[in-house]
């Protein structure tokens, strides 16, 4: 009896061992690195998530065709959140618990990113957000990073330029989205530091079709410049309305304006708009010794030849997120979440599309204020302001 | 407040109001023959604009022809939608039809998204460029607004003539008043419904083309426009095109002048409160007659 039990037990153990070996071998063969991505491919944030998703597809194809990461293939599971926080939350849980991904790239918008921050932190899964708001990495959470420049830098950069131009009294208008409200808060926070006086601040509907009345109100407040902070189509309605009203004040926009389609939509009225932006849009005119030149030109050319549309800075944020991840995996030669996380935190001088990243325990964005360049529109094209 | 500033707010109100008005007119046609509100009206507006933009971008189709083609195609789509989704329903209840139009609106929007993508596009200005404006007594207005007002006016007059003096127009009104009686008189009621969808689609498409330089066009802009148009149609008195224009201009002016006193973020609140007050005292709308609205199902 006893003997029989031992035999059975031995048999079971042997079977398990065999299974484990087979499983292990299989695992080694298709030992892919699984990365999740939550992007607003459709919906209100489609102009962000669309280029981001395309960029990731392009990179994954390129990396896997050229031997993968240290011989391992990479797999990116893209989930379309449609810009909704609820979707982002459930996808984050699914990616962490079921797919057991190493890291999540995205979400595209600030609201979604802030809402899944705690889920990723508790699930000890790296989050590389592609959204702008400073709150994503402030306060710092150990597993949460972001690749776009902080919106506070955009505000400071705008005020710096105003100081140079001798502008003190301004009016601001923002779209009623998370991005717009975040921008308004940053502008109001940093204006006193630069001696700027915000005389009037107004919020408009994201679906606004004509803004001459609110601009009339701004004009009557006696201002020297207008700042518009939004990601909605009103970005091209404002310059048109200002010209139609005969307002001659300079118009500053946020980094949300970094899409040539908005310039096309505004036509002649877009001339002279000033806005802070990453260097992707002016990659061609950067001096050849600029550290970012090579990365920017390659990404821009690859993207534009593959998808037959203009590259945008937003796709660049996803590029940076995936490339940072791959870079550190190669460095630590492991996909252990804690090790990779630590390696990102210690990553220095990583040249991306957004700027040169120098992460630290207290800075999970890693970009400095000089990652923004002030651009302007000249003859329907983006140009460096200085 | 000086006069030219007052006038500027007034003209801003007219600009926004003219857009609401021209969208609202489209609601009335289908309402007049079927008694339903077509919630896909906003999509007709966007489709018209998107087609016209596509044609103008080819470079060799002149603007008026591009608009004509866009209107014709959208009219065809309007007819197709009615024939595929609505005609075969035996006992169309108002609620059922309305839900169908909501479905159509979602399908059209997503199809447009797949074809044209998420980018913002616009028609060229009919006269001048994005920077030109007409100065009236020290205040300025975009020349496109004058186009919108003029064309809305022409649409209203043509519709009035059509419904009052042509046999088809009279037949359509008869269907609205009493469908059974109209059929007994030998009117092909189903045909009239198809026709009303075609006219609505045509007017929507034309509205989309003429407002596109001002509002710009994106695949998902239909619903917000339709909601405003719907409110305007109700306030003016459903079924009356002149009322729609007056209602539209009124809503635009209320929104514009409210900005003087309250932050822009609350302008919709001000507008809706005033509209609610109007409907409270005159439930059938500013121009609606009580007896008329009592006859209607919705």
More confident residue, A4 or B109: B109
- B260 near A CB under 8 A: yes
pLDDT of B291 reads 60
- What does the pLDDT look like over B224-247, one tens digit per residue? 888 888 888 888 888 788 888 899
Residues 210-269, chain A: which have Cβ within 8 Å of B?
210, 212-214, 216-217, 220, 233, 236-237, 239-240, 243-246, 261-262, 265-269
pLDDT of A27 reads 46
Best-predicted range by mean pLDDT (A147-151, A166-170, B140-144, B148-152): A166-170
Dist. CA B208–CA B202, nearest whole Å: 10
* Alpha carbon A346 to chain centroid, angstroms: 20
Q: Are A285 and A383 in contact (CB under 8 A)?
A: yes
- A196 near B CB under 8 A: no
The answer for residues whose C-beta is within 8 angstroms of residue A93's C-beta and 6 or more apart is A119, A123
Nearest chain A Cα to B17, which residue? Answer: A210
For chain B, give the number of residues.
298
Query: Are A265 and B216 in contact (CB < 8 Å)?
Result: yes
DSSP classification of residue B38: -
Dist. CA B37–CA B229, nearest whole Å: 11
Mutate to test the interface with A, among B264, B268, B269 (most CBs of A within 10 A): B264
- B144 near A CB under 8 A: no
Structure tokens at B180: 């059974």
Mutate to test the interface with B, among A50, A175, A209, A236 (most CBs of B within 10 A): A209
pLDDT of B294 reads 55
pLDDT of A226 reads 96
How much is the average pLDDT of B64-73? 96
* Alpha carbon A243 to chain centroid, angstroms: 32
Query: Are A42 and B118 in contact (CB < 8 Å)?
Result: yes
Chain B residues lying within 8 Å of A207, measured CB to CB: 221, 224
Output phi, psi for A199, to 5 deg: -80, -30
pLDDT of B293 reads 59
Which of A214, A265, A269 lies nearest to residue B120, judging by beta carbons? A265
More confident residue, B183 or A299: A299
Structure tokens at A317: 């944020």
Query: Are B5 and A216 in contact (CB < 8 Å)?
Result: yes
Strand locations in A257-333 (E): 274-277
- A97 near B CB under 8 A: no
Q: What is the full per-residue pLDDT of chain A (386 aa) written as tens digits?
A: 455 665 565 555 555 544 444 444 444 445 889 999 999 988 777 888 989 999 999 999 999 999 889 889 999 999 999 888 999 999 999 999 999 999 999 899 888 999 999 999 999 999 999 998 888 998 899 999 999 998 889 999 999 999 999 999 999 999 887 788 889 999 999 999 999 999 999 999 888 888 999 999 999 999 999 999 988 788 999 999 999 998 999 999 998 888 888 888 888 999 999 999 999 988 988 888 999 999 999 999 999 999 988 888 899 999 999 999 999 999 998 889 999 999 999 999 999 999 999 999 999 999 999 999 999 999 999 999 87
pLDDT of B292 reads 60
- Say whether pLDDT at B88 is over 90: no
Nearest chain A Cα to B224, which residue? Answer: A207
Structure tokens at A160: 């710096």
pLDDT of B84 reads 92
- B263 near A CB under 8 A: yes
- A205 near B CB under 8 A: yes
- A380 near B CB under 8 A: no
pLDDT of A26 reads 42
Query: Are B119 and A267 in contact (CB < 8 Å)?
Result: no
Starting from the edge strand earliest in sequence, which strands make up the sheet with A197-204, in order? A197-204, A169-175, A225-229, A251-253, A274-277, A373-378, A381-384
- B2 near A CB under 8 A: no
- What does the pLDDT look like over A254-306, one tens digit per residue? 988 888 888 888 889 999 999 999 999 889 888 889 999 999 999 999 999 99
How much is the average pLDDT of B136-158? 89
Each as own residue / partner, the long-range contacts of residues A325-334 (CB below 8 Å, 24 or more positions apart, any chain) are A325/A35, A325/A102, A325/A103, A325/A105, A325/A126, A325/A128, A326/A63, A326/A69, A326/A74, A329/A33, A329/A69, A329/A70, A330/A69, A330/A70, A333/A70
SS3 A38: strand
Dist. CA A331–CA A336, nearest whole Å: 12
- Say whether pLDDT at B278 is over 60: yes
Nearest chain B Cα to A174, which residue? Answer: B265
Mutate to test the interface with A, among B216, B219, B226 (most CBs of A within 10 A): B216
- Domains, in order of start, for chain B: 3-295 (1.10.3470)
How much is the average pLDDT of B266-292? 79
Burial class (CB in 10 A: 0-12, 13-18, 19+), B117: middle
Nearest CA distance, B292 vs chain A (angstrom): 34
SS3 A146: strand
- Domains, in order of start, for chain A: 33-149+292-370 (3.40.50.2300), 152-277 (3.40.50.2300)
How much is the average pLDDT of B121-143? 86
């Amino acid at each position: 009896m006893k003997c029989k039990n031992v035999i059975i037990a031995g048999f079971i153990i042997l079977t398990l061992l065999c299974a484990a070996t087979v499983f292990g071998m299989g695992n080694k063969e298709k030992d892919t690195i699984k990365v999740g991505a939550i992007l607003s491919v459709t919906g209100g944030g489609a102009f962000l998530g669309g280029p981001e998703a395309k960029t990731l597809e392009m990179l994954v194809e390129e990396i896997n065709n050229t031997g993968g990461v240290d011989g391992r293939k990479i797999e990116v599971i893209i989930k379309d959140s449609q810009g909704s926080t609820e979707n982002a939350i459930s996808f984050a849980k699914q990616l962490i618990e079921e797919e057991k991904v190493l890291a999540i790239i995205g979400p595209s918008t600030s609201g979604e990113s802030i809402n899944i921050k705690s889920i990723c932190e508790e699930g000890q899964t790296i989050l590389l957000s592609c959204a702008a708001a400073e709150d994503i990495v402030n306060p710092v959470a150990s597993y949460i990073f972001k690749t776009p420049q902080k919106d506070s830098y955009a505000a400071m950069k705008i005020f710096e330029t105003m100081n140079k131009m001798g502008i003190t009294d301004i009016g601001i208008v923002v779209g009623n989205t998370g991005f717009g409200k975040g921008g308004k808060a940053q502008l109001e926070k940093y204006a006193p530091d630069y001696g700027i006086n915000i005389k009037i601040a107004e919020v408009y509907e994201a679906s606004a079709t004509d803004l001459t009345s609110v601009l009339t109100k701004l004009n009557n407040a006696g201002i020297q410049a207008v700042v518009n902070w939004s990601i909605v189509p009103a970005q091209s309605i404002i310059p048109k309305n200002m010209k139609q009203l005969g307002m001659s004040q300079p118009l500053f926009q946020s980094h949300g304006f970094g899409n040539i389609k908005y310039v096309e939509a505004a036509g002649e009225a877009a001339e002279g708009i000033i806005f802070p932006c990453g260097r992707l849009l002016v990659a061609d005119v950067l001096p050849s010794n600029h550290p970012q030149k090579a990365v920017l030109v390659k990404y821009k050319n690859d993207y534009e030849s593959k998808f037959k549309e203009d590259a945008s800075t937003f796709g660049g944020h996803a590029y940076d997120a995936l490339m940072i991840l791959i870079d550190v995996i190669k460095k630590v030669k492991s996909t252990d979440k804690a090790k990779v996380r630590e390696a990102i935190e210690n990553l220095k001088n990583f040249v991306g599309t957004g700027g040169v990243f120098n992460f630290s325990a207290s800075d999970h964005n890693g970009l400095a204020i000089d990652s923004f360049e002030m651009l302007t529109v000249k003859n329907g094209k983006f140009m460096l302001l200085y | 407040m000086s006069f030219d500033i007052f006038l500027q707010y007034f003209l801003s109100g007219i600009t926004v109001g003219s857009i609401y008005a021209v969208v609202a007119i489209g609601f009335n046609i289908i309402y007049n023959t079927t008694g339903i509100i077509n919630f896909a009206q906003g999509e007709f507006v966007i489709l018209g604009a998107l087609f016209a933009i596509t044609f103008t971008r080819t470079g060799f189709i002149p603007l008026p022809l591009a608009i004509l083609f866009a209107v014709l195609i959208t009219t065809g789509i309007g007819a197709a939608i009615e024939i595929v989704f609505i005609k075969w329903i035996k006992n169309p209840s108002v609620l059922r039809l309305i839900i169908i139009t909501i479905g159509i609106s979602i399908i059209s929007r997503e199809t447009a998204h797949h074809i044209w993508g998420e980018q913002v596009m616009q028609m060229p200005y009919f006269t001048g460029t994005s920077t030109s404006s007409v100065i009236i007594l020290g205040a300025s207005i975009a020349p496109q607004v004058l186009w919108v007002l003029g064309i809305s006016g022409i649409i209203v007059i043509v519709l009035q003539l059509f419904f009052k003096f042509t046999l088809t127009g009279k037949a359509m009104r008869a269907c609205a008043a009493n469908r059974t009686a109209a059929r007994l008189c030998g009117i092909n009621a189903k045909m009239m419904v198809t026709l009303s969808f075609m006219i609505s689609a045509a007017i929507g498409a034309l509205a989309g083309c003429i407002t596109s330089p001002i509002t710009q066009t994106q695949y998902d802009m239909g619903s917000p426009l339709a909601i405003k148009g719907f409110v305007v149609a109700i306030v003016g008195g459903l079924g009356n095109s002149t009322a729609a224009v007056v209602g539209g201009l009124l809503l635009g002016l209320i929104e514009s002048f409210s900005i003087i006193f309250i932050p822009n973020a609350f302008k919709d609140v001000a507008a809706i409160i005033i509209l609610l007050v109007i409907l409270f005292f005159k439930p059938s709308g500013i121009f609606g007659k009580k007896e008329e609205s009592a006859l209607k199902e919705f």
